[in-house]
Structure 1
């Protein structure tokens, strides 16, 4: 498929409907389509291209280009600007956001991006904050020690109690949930990782707890899923009840199709 053609698919354009959309791009699909990488480069600003060139490894440069293309093309599905025209800035916590004039073109739109291994993932919603995190599982001998440093005490204890063979998957369940929540909050690492935690003892369920002053745990919902066995993914939504979540397989400038992705865990439990 030529990278020069306009992106098509069975997702409509225009303002996004209520709910959350989860867009998943696979690096292998990008690599397999002639001309896509060059087309992605053409969408980026000079600063974005320079940032990509600073990566030492080709895989990192490819993830960067795919991430920028995914954000720009999905924004153009919902707003009147072409992909090249979107401009971004960082807030005081360093979180990327649309520049004011571009944000006015997609009122109320919240978006968040994550990438790891073979996946680039974008979450979008209108009227509610969203955070998403995907990680490639890496089995490390020091996971309990890392959890003691980076997790709340409740999470570190629960991980240490597991059989060694089960620790890597559970560690990244916790890690993706914590990252997704921090990203949805938008406060960066000013939020202590020990001030909130996730109880994953019940299969299929997520119980969110927090010691943060003035923060109501019931005002947040979560969904954990696995696009493939190597990549756990977590979605955090600023809503007391899980809204409709639509999932799309998206290769920027090549095609988009609806996909079914079963939940591994949810909060509130369903």
Structure 2
């Protein structure tokens, strides 16, 4: 979908682009808790670490604005299936969030009273045989038709587009994997099962992204700031 303006009253999900830089890392590291700092230290690539810190800092800034707290004061917990959540007392306000990063791009999604998931993937070259195997085991019949209908030049992009839609839905549900990924059908329309929906999200060339959330009538927009 084309991102809408926050002026629309229908907007329920706000998406933020996290920008990595040396200054952002220096500032953001001071806001992270011990678990986040351990994750940051585990990255072998400085660029990947900086992007992770930028994403966490952006999340803390935006949640802090909504909750009336400093970025470093925000505390996180884990839901029943390991999905990151806000910890008490911040959880009482009903804000949900999700973060995704790939390559040099990181996105943060925030929604109130709606479980939300976001996924971004860099479009990398994948051997045709590997795509065939993954799609056969993980794509629904409708997703397979959509992927196979793409021309040779667009097949890899379509593979990642279907994959990001599926990942966004799973992240919104709060589960990393399900027994039958092919049962999670994200096409032909935005509706997924009965109470969930997913939209493609416009990002810079070389990447694809998708946003999923609870409900069927929500809209998403780029956040300001």
Q: TM-score range by the shorter chain?
A: 0.7 to 0.9
Q: Which of 166, 171, 176 in structure 2 is aligned with 1:183?
A: 171
TM-score (norm 1): 0.73
Residues 193-249 of structure 1 deviation map (CA, whole Å, 9 limit, x = unaligned): 11121334xxxxx35454xxxxx1xx3232212211112111112122133x22136
Matches within 5 A, 1:220-259: 220-243=196-219, 245-248=220-223, 256=225
Q: Who is 1:61 aligned against?
A: 49
Structure 1, unpaired ranges of 5+: 1-10, 12-16, 201-205, 211-215, 250-255, 257-270
Contact 1:18 1:125 in 2 (8 A): no
Cα deviation for residue 123 of structure 1 reads: 1.0
- Separation (CA, whole Å) in 1 of partners of 2:163 and 2:147: 12
Contact 1:52 1:61 in 2 (8 A): yes
Q: 1:91 to 1:242 in 2, by over 3 A?
A: closer
Contact 1:222 1:242 in 2 (8 A): no
TM-score (norm 2): 0.86
Matches within 5 A, 1:1-270: 19-26=12-19, 30-31=20-21, 35-104=23-92, 107-141=93-127, 142-190=130-178, 192-200=180-188, 206-208=189-191, 210=193, 216=194, 219-243=195-219, 245-248=220-223, 256=225
Greater mean deviation of Cα atoms: 40-49 or 185-194: 185-194
Aligned residues: 215
Cα RMSD, aligned residues only = 2.1
- Separation (CA, whole Å) in 1 of partners of 2:59 and 2:179: 26
What's the secondary structure of 1:35's corresponding residue? helix
Q: Which has the larger radius of gyration?
A: 1
What's the secondary structure of 1:241's corresponding residue? coil
What's the secondary structure of 2:209's corresponding residue? strand
- Separation (CA, whole Å) in 1 of partners of 2:156 and 2:101: 19
The structure carrying a bigger helix percent of its residues is 2
